[in-house]
Amino acid sequence: MVEVAGVAPDALGPTITIGEILVELMATSIGHGFKAPQALIGPFASGAPAIFIDQVAKLGGGAGIVSAVGDDDFGWLNIDRLKADGVDVSAIAVLPDWPTGSAFVRYREDGARDFVFNIARSAAGQTTLTDAAEALIARAGHVHVMGSAFAIPGMARLILKAVEVVKARGGTVSFDPNLRKELMGSDLGRQVEAVIAVTDLLLPSGDELFLASGETQEGAAVNRLFSRGIAEVVVKRGREGATLFSQREGRIDAAAFTVEEIDPTGAGDCFGATYLTLRRQGTDALPALRYANAAGARTVTRQGPMEGTSSKAELDRFIDAQGAQA
Ligand code: ATP
Ligand code: MG
């Protein structure tokens, strides 16, 4: 078995992520799509990598993001927000000739969503390795790879480059795959394979565990991933909570908190950011899992993808209040 790695301590350098920054605009009514005029609410700061890194910073973890936005209100809304929450925004390029990315979303009766995206052809799609990005990567201690970023052509190469630099200085890698089976076997599938080969902490949900491992049973899937050098797999199970499979500590289950779900967007990102950040800060696996469940649960009670990110004090209050309810 490959040696157990864990994640690099916060002192080695900030957690960084590379990928899309967007605004999200949400329909205020339930229904199908956008083929008629309707009321919307937004813009909200968004983009899975941006939500993730905002949550890292709110917990006091070193945090930076490599991305690009337009020189427009949507871009500055995001930069101002990330900066206020403590994220290093030096490697967010502001591009005068490209609009900030956007996502329009409307929920259907059954909870499914219709989207209108502008990402690959937005400023985010023009993310490159600027001098500022290289400087941030050179002092990073951990790279979090967000599968959603692979939808942008060229992003995978940039991410793998950053991984190489950070690993070479003793840093570690986490990966939230966001995989679709249609992807595996394609060029993108091979890039995903390359990320799995260097991952220390994998954060799958749904059938991503099986897609990432090529196995069909949970135990076999986890063992296959362990044999490839992954130290910890944390399976996210929505309102069922989460399970840690650790080479060092075995299996640990943590129940979810009971909340009323208002907007599920961002739960996985906030969960992953919380688990990773607390582990990098030296917290044990079980309490880190409980805080991560609390962060995910708190997120779904707020409308807007980044509106549910939490400080440690907010998580403590949430957990106390839940305890009092039980
Ligand atoms: P995303 O939709 O952001 O991609 P995901 O599929 O990656 O999410 P989920 O399993 O949906 O991840 O959510 C992550 C974590 O958030 C869960 O493991 C759980 O701790 C918490 N969570 C999500 N939804 C709920 C809910 N309805 N009630 C309580 N906790 C929840
Ligand atoms: Mg997910």
pLDDT value of position 184: 62
How far is the centre of ligand 2, averaged over its atoms, from the C-alpha of 76 (Å)? Answer: 26
SS3 of the chain: the string is CCCCCCCCCHHHCCEEEECCCEEEEEECCCCCCCCCCCCEEEEEEECHHHHHHHHHHHCCCCEEEEEEEECCHHHHHHHHHHHHCCCECCCEEEECCCCCEEEEEEECCCCCEEEEEECCCCHHHHCCCCHHHHHHHHCCCEEEEEHHHHHCCCHHHHHHHHHHHHHHCCCEEEEECCCCHHHCCCHHHHHHHHHHCCCCEECCECCHHHHHHCCCCHHHHHHHHHHCCCCEEEEECHHHCEEEEECCCEEEEECCCCCCCCCCCCHHHHHHHHHHHHHHCCCCHHHHHHHHHHHHHHHHCCCCCCCCCCCHHHHHHHHHHHHHHC
Using a CB cutoff of 5 Å, list residues around ligand 2, an ion: 205, 268
The Cβ of residue 66 has, within 10 Å, a number of other Cβ atoms equal to: 30
Ligand 1 cavity residues, CB under 6 Å: 205, 236-239, 241-242, 256-257, 259, 261, 264, 266-269, 271, 293, 296-297, 300
pLDDT value of position 1: 35
Q: What residue owns the CA closest to ligand 1's atom 20?
A: 293
The pTM (predicted TM-score) of the whole model is: 0.95
Q: Which atom of ligand 1 is nearest to the CA of 293?
A: 20
Q: Return averaged pLDDT per consecutive 10 residues of the chain, 326 residues in all.
A: 67 97 97 97 97 98 98 98 98 98 94 90 96 98 94 91 97 89 70 92 94 93 96 97 95 96 92 98 96 97 94 97 75
Ligand nearest to the CA of residue 146, numbered in listed order: 2
Q: What residue owns the CA closest to ligand 1's atom 5?
A: 268
Ligand nearest to the CA of residue 297, numbered in listed order: 1
Q: What is the C-alpha end-to-end distance of the chain, expressed in Å?
A: 42
pLDDT value of position 185: 63
pLDDT value of position 323: 83
Name the nearest CA neighbour of 279 among 5, 8, 52: 8
pLDDT value of position 3: 37
